[in-house]
Each structure stands twice: as C-alpha cells, then as structure tokens.
Amino acid sequence: MTVSQQIPVATLGVPRIGRRRELKFALESYWSGKSSAADLLTTAKALRAANWEEQRDRGVSKIPSNDFSLYDHVLDTAAMVGAVPSRYGWNGGEVPLDIYFAMARGNQGQTENGGHGHNYAAHAPSLTAMEMTKWFDTNYHYIVPELEDDQAFTLSSTKPVDYFLEAKVLGIHTRPVILGPVTFLKLSKSPADGFDPLALLPRLLPIYQELLSKLKASGADWVQIDEPALVLDLNPNERAAFEFAYGQLSTATPELKIMLATYFGSLGDNLETAVSLPIAGLHIDLVRAPEQLEPVGRLAPKDLVLSLGLINGRNVWRANLLSILDRIKPTVAGWHLDRVEIAPSCSMLHVPIDLRMETALDANIGSWLAFAAQKTDELVVLARALSEGRDAVADALTASAEATAARATSTKIHDPLVEGRIANIKESMKRRTSAFAVRSQVQAGALELPPFPTTTIGSFPQTLQLRKARAAHAKGQLSYVDYETFLKKEIEAAIRWQEEIGLDVLVHGEFERNDMVQYFGEQLSGFAFTEHAWVQSYGSRYVRPPIIFGDVSRSNPMTVRWWEFAQSLTQRPVKGMLTGPVTILNWSFVRDDVPRSEVCRQIALAIRDEVTDLERSGARMIQIDEAAFREGLPLRACDRESYLDWAVECFRLASTGVQDATQIHTHMCYSEFNEIIGAIAELDADVISIETSRSAMELLDAFTNSKYPNEIGPGVYDIHSPRVPEVAEISALLLLARERLSDAQLWVNPDCGLKTRKWDEVRPALKNMVAAARALRERV
C-alpha cells in the first residue's frame, strides 16, 4: 500500500432534525402560526452550522452540504427543478415556503396523521398534498414527485449553491449532495399509464447542468450525486439512462468531480454500468454487500475514487473495526490509497444522532451501540488505520473488538430457553388444525355474525386527556391504580358506545398503548428503549425505534387483562388485539449478530404465547396486525421469496396455535398486494382487513376469489381524513367490493385504526358505516 496523504472521510449525509428535535418544533410552530418563516429559517441555519462544525471537529474531510432539508430531499429536488404540480398555483421563480409545505402536507393547518405504516398522503379538503411513500427499504418516507407528460423543468432554487456558500462563510469547504436525475425520475409518479418518467431525462439534464456549473462557479470541486436506483433491478433502458445522464453531466462541467453514491444494496448486474460511467468517484455499500468490494476494485478504472461504505448507516451497532480492516485487507492491499475514501454505507439520516444523550440506557447495552456521532468517529479511526497504520489507532481498534466480543458472549443477549424453543419448532406449529373451509364453518356456527359483519381496526381516538394521563403515569405523578381506573373507564365507554351504534365485533380501543410496537417491546425481554434516539420518518414526524439487542421472550401476558375487562362488559365478541412479529421486527433496530429471520421467529413465539393466553381466557377472535409486513420486502426481486418465506412462517408461528373455532384476523395498512398476494394467502388468517377506500376498491383486484378464498374487510372509510363519509359513499364502496368478492367473504370496517382521529369525526363516521352495512343486509 502506498499512501501519500490522509485518506478522506465522508459521511454522505447526517441527521437533520437536531439533537433536541429543534427542526420539528420550529416547523410545527411555523405551521401553527406561532412563529415566522424567519424564525424557522434561523433554526434551520443553526442546525446546518452545528452539523458542519461537528463533522469538521470530528475529522470528517468530505463534509456534505445540501443533505439538510426542511421536509424531504426528494421534495427539495422536485421544487428545485420546477416540478410543481399546477394545482399549487406556482408562477415560476423560487418556490415559496408555503407552496413547498402545501406540496408536502396539503394546505390544511393540521398535520393529518401520525402512527405507523400509512401512505401518509394528507387529504386536505381544498388542496391535496402530494403522495408519500417509503424511501427504498427504509422507514423514511419521501414525497413522490408528480410529473406531467409534457413537463417542463426550470432551475427554480439554488439551495445546493446557497448551502455551499453558507458553509464557506464558516470556513468549511463542503461537498454538496444532490439527488441524481435518474433516481429522481424513477421515483416519480408516472404522469399517465404506460408513460415512463425517464423519457423526461433529456429535458431534466439541462437543469442539472446549470446547477453543476453554478456549484463549480461558487468554488465546489466535488459534488455527491446520489443514485440509489443503481441497486435496483434495472432494465437495459434504465441502464442506458445512466450512461446518457452521466455522459451529459460530465461533459458539461468536466472540472467538477462527481462522486456517484449508491447504497442500500449491491450494484449486482448494474456493476459494469456503474464503473464505466464518466465519473470521478463511486460510493458502494459494503455493509449490505461486502462481496462487491473485490469486483468493483477489479473492474473500476484505476483513477476512479472508491468510497467504501464500511460503517452501517442503517443500524445502531458499534462496529468491530479490526474485523472490517481484516476483511478488506486482501482486496485493498495492492491499491494506491489515493483511490479510497471511507464512508458509512449510506447517509446517516437513518440513525439517531448521539449515543451520549442516552444517560438512562443500561451501560452494557450502551457500550455496544454507535449513533451518528460515534459512527463518524469510527470512520475516522478506519481511515487513520489505513493511512497511518493500525498502531496509530491501536486503542480504538482494541476497544471496538472488545466491545464486540463482550456483546457476543453477554448473558444479556443469550437466553438458552429461547434458543431451545427455536430449535424445537415443529412443522405442526406452523399450521392450523383444519383448512379454512372447515374452520370457517365452525366459526360461523360459534360466532353467529350477520352477513357483512361490521368492526373496527382496533384503536379509538387518543385524546389529549388520555395522552396526559399516560404522561403523568410515566412521570410517576399518576399512580398505576388511578391510571388503570382511568383506562378502564375509557374502555367501558368505548364498549357501551360500540354496542349502542350496533357494531358486531368490538374492540377495547387500545387506550393503554403509546405505540403499537413500543407497547409490546416494553413488555418483552431483549428490547431496549431510548430517550432521545429519534430518526425522521417523514417531515416533522420522528420515531424512536426500539432496539432489539437480545433473545426475545415474554414472561407475562401483555394484553389479556385489557381484553378480559372489555369482554366482561358485553356479550358481543371483543377482538384480542396484537401486533405481529414481522411488524415488530420491521419497525425496530434489530441485532446484527443473528439473522433477522431468527429474531422474527423469537418474537413470533412470544406472540404465540399471548395468543394462547387470550384464547384460554375466552377470546373468540384475535387480530394480529402486520402493518409493516410489506415494508420488509427486499429491493431486488431475487431476494423477495426468501423474505416472504420466513415472514409468512413467523406470522403462522404466531397465529396458528389456536382451535378451529378461534377466528384469527390480521390487518395491513395498504393494499398494494399484487406482488405478494400469494404470501398473503399463505398467512391463512381467517379475516384480513386492508386499506382500500381511496382506491375505489380497484386494489381489491389482487384478491379475486381464486387467489384469496378467506374473508376480507376492505376499508370503506378513509381514516386519514377528518371528513365524515356519507352512508351513500360507503354503500357505493361496498357495491364495488361486491363486484370483486363474494358476499360470504366481505366484512365492513374502516381503512385503519382511529387513534389519530377525533371522537367527533369517528362517531358519525362509524354510525354511517353501520347504516351502510345494514342497508346492504336488507337488500340481499
């Protein structure tokens, strides 16, 4: 190895939200009219400065700028290239803040909803927001650009240039980050059926060229262009688009060097395309795809700078730096290290900011973790080890190896009982006693439900009073007895009201839950919770995912007493209400020392125990929510089957340990089922409820009887909107559903839980829903 200088360290992007969630509070204060745009922009500017200075002080040499966004970087890109749908009334020029936020959230003052697992499109009555969807396989959601087939683009913001100059004033030379044109178009919504947004590439590229030349003129020497689409399955046309785009961009500003960033997986069959592009640098994800180091090194031109994504930007575990160095050594040993940069696998947007804020965390567990700040330090150690030799950072390397070793052997993570149970899983534990056709007869006899039974998805409004009581209890200001009394009153009122309006299958209302994953995680062993470890989910919504650090087990029933209390109040069936293993897994930071499938099996057994206890207590129906089942779907088609196999297996492990007469429900908050319908059918839940109200039931096409014989409750009430649906609208949706499903299959329910709604909206809406179901019963 020959080294002429210190190997550069890049972070690719850091969290934007602020250590104390300053951005959230500034945004929400601005939206509610309590503070001015100037206040918001001042907070944002201070956050950027703090991020740049912190990275400089930690030794980062390729400090990103324009990784910051007030809301979302994809929305920023749409606004920057002038892709503002006409309904927002934009007249050219810089996109004003209020149009920008209207694109993100509609023009309604209130944020529309929270909670997990929705396609959070806010539906304002007068001006709708753009759609939102998951950013690749992360839990970050971006705003989906909407393009017209004759879309014109113009450079309507110089944000990347402005931020570059802003850092320059602070004496910090940054490497601006922009979302690449091909990924941008590929993530955009097609303007018309059969229209490929990539056809707009020739129109879009001049905007990027203009931007790059402005960056160059401002003094930038490198730019990071993110093209994560390069890790997806691409067709030849899409690969050609990369060649075309980068050919154009590199000839327009040859002096501005492009670091093309790929992440979230392997380049795979796009590798040759990537290394042959006329770029100066290529970033590769070596956490998800360590095996690509060797072929990339071999096939890349010798003057292509390779940015090695060695530290996990998607998880919270401290790395074993020694083993990383050992792993890459055989490949990089012969390289000229001028060719190398050290980086996280992807932008650190997806990890919390600083572990040092977690003062209440168990010390052992804390010593196994690294958040963005600690990961940055890890990058610097790796770079120094490579440029100065391992001795220069011997202490840090030893410490990291010791922490890994301590974690590997800790009794906190290994529970022989759990590991024994996993080893003893029998095939018979993964299937119901009888087939659906048989069970459904037994259940029909036992439950005596009317045709088109009505129910809800589980949660009722989380009122201010309820949230206050929970907070007071958490702070020790409200005793457990008083808190429980309060919750029981809520449950009782909910049960009475559901009976009164004539719902057929009742729920207790989930008043005791803060969050559908956290509530369970807090009662399971193997989970840790943080105080400040927020990560952005979308806009001003941040989540604090639980950390699954060890073997998972359940020592006591988690929901039985609430269910028992609710059922004691009524003759009608009350559904037991659980979150499924796949969803708990997909919404957590998961340990990396065993396969995800293994962790999921452990959670599944814990949920199975809960299901057994509910049944033993008399529950006739148990709903196991899998809101995030689809979220875990791998990016590449070739990886999907194995995910679906173990995900289905885990749901079945959790749900099949019951008698034929016990009806298992599941719920999923979306309805794009086409590519996974086979797996959904294999779950073999007796009833599934899904979100369909906004799609006029078209999305039910995936469920036609031949593909899906079990019962289905397609949502007939859009819970994302404060609007109360009329009886006639619900009836119309039910008619559409009946065109696709048999009457015997059809349930009547809202799209999702009602926790984010107000009682004043929920009461009339559910009454209308019941009325529509009754009217239908009379007609058939």
631 is in an annotated binding site: yes
34 is in an annotated binding site: no
Cα(465)–Cα(611) distance, integer angstroms:
31
Please give the C-alpha separations between residue 113 and each of 76, 544, 721, 750, 756, in angstroms, as whole numbers.
22, 17, 8, 15, 6
Structure tokens at 665: 């429900």
Residue nearest to ligand GLN (CB): 753
Choice between 60 and 752, CB closer to Zn ion = 752
- Distance of closest approach, residue 669 Cβ to Zn ion, in angstroms: 3
Stretch that binds Zn ion, among 50-58, 69-77, 155-163, 666-674 (CB under 5 A): 666-674
Cα(44)–Cα(52) distance, integer angstroms:
13
Choice between 644 and 752, CB closer to Zn ion = 752
Choice between 226 and 490, CB closer to ligand GLN = 490
SS3 sequence of 701-755: HHHCCCCCCCEEEEECCCCCCCCCCCHHHHHHHHHHHHHHCCHHHECEECCCCCC
Provide the residue count of the chain: 780
- Distance of closest approach, residue 361 Cβ to ligand GLN, in angstroms: 27
- The reply to whether 624 sits near Zn ion by the rule CB under 5 A is no
Name the DSSP letter for residue 754.
Answer: -
Structure tokens at 775: 């009217």
- Given strand 687-690, what is the order of strands in its sheet? 576-579, 621-625, 663-668, 687-690, 711-714
134 is in an annotated binding site: yes
- Distance of closest approach, residue 516 Cβ to ligand GLN, in angstroms: 5
Choice between 241 and 754, CB closer to ligand GLN = 754
Of 673, 691, 670, nearest in space to 682 by CA: 673
Q: Which helix (H) or strand (E) holds 143?
A: strand 141-143
Choice between 78 and 516, CB closer to ligand GLN = 516
Choice between 117 and 160, CB closer to Zn ion = 117
Catalytic center residues:
720
650 is in an annotated binding site: no
- Distance of closest approach, residue 751 Cβ to ligand GLN, in angstroms: 10
Select from Zn ion, ligand GLN, none the partner in contact with residue 459, using the beta carbon and a kind-dependent cut-off of 5 to 8 Å. Answer: ligand GLN
- The reply to whether 332 sits near Zn ion by the rule CB under 5 A is no
* Near Zn ion by CB under 5 A: residue from 121, 552, 752, 765: 752
Q: Which residues here bind ligand GLN, judged by CB under 6 A?
A: 115-117, 457-459, 510, 516, 577, 625, 627, 667, 669, 752-753, 755
User: CB of 71 within 8 A of CB of 168?
Assistant: no
427 is in an annotated binding site: no
Q: Side chain identity at 724, as an amino acid letter?
A: V
Stretch that binds Zn ion, among 44-52, 202-210, 351-359, 668-676 (CB under 5 A): 668-676
Q: Side chain identity at 774, as an amino acid letter?
A: R
Stretch that binds Zn ion, among 273-281, 490-498, 695-703, 746-754 (CB under 5 A): 746-754
User: CB of 266 within 8 A of CB of 292?
Assistant: yes
- Distance of closest approach, residue 713 Cβ to ligand GLN, in angstroms: 12
- The reply to whether 413 sits near Zn ion by the rule CB under 5 A is no
CA torsion angle 72 74 75 81 (round to 10): 140
- Given strand 305-311, what is the order of strands in its sheet? 63-65, 174-179, 222-226, 257-261, 281-285, 305-311, 340-344
Q: Side chain identity at 57, as an amino acid letter?
A: D
Residue 648: phi, psi to the nearest 5? Answer: -60, -45
Cα(480)–Cα(469) distance, integer angstroms:
10
- The reply to whether 766 sits near Zn ion by the rule CB under 5 A is no
Select from ligand GLN, Zn ion, none the partner in contact with residue 116, using the beta carbon and a kind-dependent cut-off of 5 to 8 Å. Answer: ligand GLN
667 is in an annotated binding site: yes
- The reply to whether 669 sits near Zn ion by the rule CB under 5 A is yes
- The reply to whether 7 sits near Zn ion by the rule CB under 5 A is no
270 is in an annotated binding site: no
Could you give the 3-state DSSP secondary structure of residue 321?
Answer: helix
User: CB of 1 within 8 A of CB of 53?
Assistant: no
459 is in an annotated binding site: yes
Choice between 81 and 712, CB closer to ligand GLN = 712
- Which residues sit in the known binding site for 5-methyltetrahydropteroyltri-L-glutamate? 21-24, 134, 139, 587, 631
Q: Which residues here bind Zn ion, judged by CB under 5 A?
A: 669, 752
